[in-house]
Structure 1
């Protein structure tokens, strides 16, 4: 049952939502506020012996959750309004109102979306706070290893030759070459009188 309801909701979302950027059947609300969802629209006219049976985005009936949902009777029709109180992010999704006849058979369904594109925010920074935090953590994860490698490269252990060459005092590639040093010493000893 749950899979069938989810599939129908997904199918209807794609069919109804593909052509327009703002969907008339969806509502957007602030977090922590209340909102009313109506089990009626222009194409389905709910009348007195019928009732509205609400199914939450999680697939359970609204009667099962009395904390955030209240079913309101209006125009002598039970379930005409689903009052959603203290809205949270987890409550966003597609709500289905099944219009049932007096014998319990379903005549039709009405879809209502709540915060499908995210909730409203009082200040524009509220929307991006989590993204800023994620970006800062990602930048730190990238920069800390990279700067550590640069630090180790700059201050790593250097041999005596590298230290002398980096100071610029001896730039000869033959410096500290024992064979070359021996030739220089022997050339000083060689008698040039010949």
Structure 2
């Protein structure tokens, strides 16, 4: 990929030098995304006459004749020259690149050509927020995904089932006093037994003479 890109730049540089455009600023333009842009076929040292016509070559190697019109491009006659102007209706990455305009006489013989570039390196931005908007969105989504994972782990740890052994160790860490599961279970058992004996619904044999069988 790097070799291919290098070869493309060499070819573009060679074509520009053939046209006498050694400085990129002379033929390459930068403009805002989602806006329209226009090229006019001005060739240094060539007076384009009304009997001439112009064709345009797009970055994807399409040849656009006069009156061509689709969702991306429109070729417009101007100053009585057929196809003199190319309208790019909406700038997006697919239309970035190098354009050629070629001038022909009424016999179909080529008189000259020139090269234009649009957003060769990157599009123009109104402010820094527009430039890094996609990176900011990616960062926000990644942060939210990470937060959801952390929150899920915390909830699982907080509401997970706690065994008596785990509870005993937790109390020991908090109080610093030795604590055993057997003591905990014994205390719970003794408490249940005491509650049962104190309950009015539970009566022993001595409290219920009618249930006591005398021998």
Normalised by the shorter chain, which TM-score bucket?
A: 0.5 to 0.7
Aligned-partner Cα distance in 2 for 1:97–1:72: 13
Map 1:171-186; keep pairs closer than 5 Å. 175-176=180-181
Larger RCO of the pair (alpha carbons < 8 Å, separation 6+): 1
1:88 paired to 2:87: no
Structural RMSD (CA): 3.8
Partners of 2:162 and 2:109 in 1: CA distance = 85
Query: How far apart, in 2, do the equivalents of 1:40 and 1:79 lie?
Result: 12
Distance in 1, matches of 2:162 and 2:147, equals: 25
Unpaired segments ≥5 residues, structure 1: 1-7, 178-194
**Shift in Å at residue 115 of structure 1?**
2.6
Paired residues in the alignment total 166
Q: Does 1:160 align with 2:160?
A: no
Contact 1:9 1:94 in 2 (8 A): no
Task: From the CA coordinates, give the structure whose radius of gyration is larger.
Answer: 2
Give the TM-score normalised by the residue count of structure 2. Answer: 0.57
- Post-superposition CA distance 1:8-66 (Å, at most 9, x none): 965434656xx97x643111223454433132344x63543653210223333334425
Q: Matched residues in 1 for 2:176 and 2:25: separation?
A: 77
Cα distance in 1 for partners of 2:156, 2:108 equals 75
Assess, with a 3 A threshold, how the Cα gap between structure 1 residues 10 and 46 changes in structure 2: closer, same or farther: farther
Question: Gapped runs of 5+ residues in structure 2?
Answer: 1-6, 17-21, 183-215
Q: Is the CA contact (8 Å cut-off) linking 2:57 and 2:64 kept in structure 1? A: yes
Distance of 2:55 and 2:40 partners within structure 1 = 11
For 1:1-194, list aligned pairs within 5 A: 11-13=10-12, 23-31=25-33, 33-42=35-44, 45=46, 47-48=48-49, 50-63=52-65, 64-66=68-70, 68-74=73-79, 77-84=81-88, 86-89=89-92, 90-104=94-108, 106=110, 109-168=113-172, 169=175, 175-176=180-181
* TM-score when normalising by structure 1: 0.62
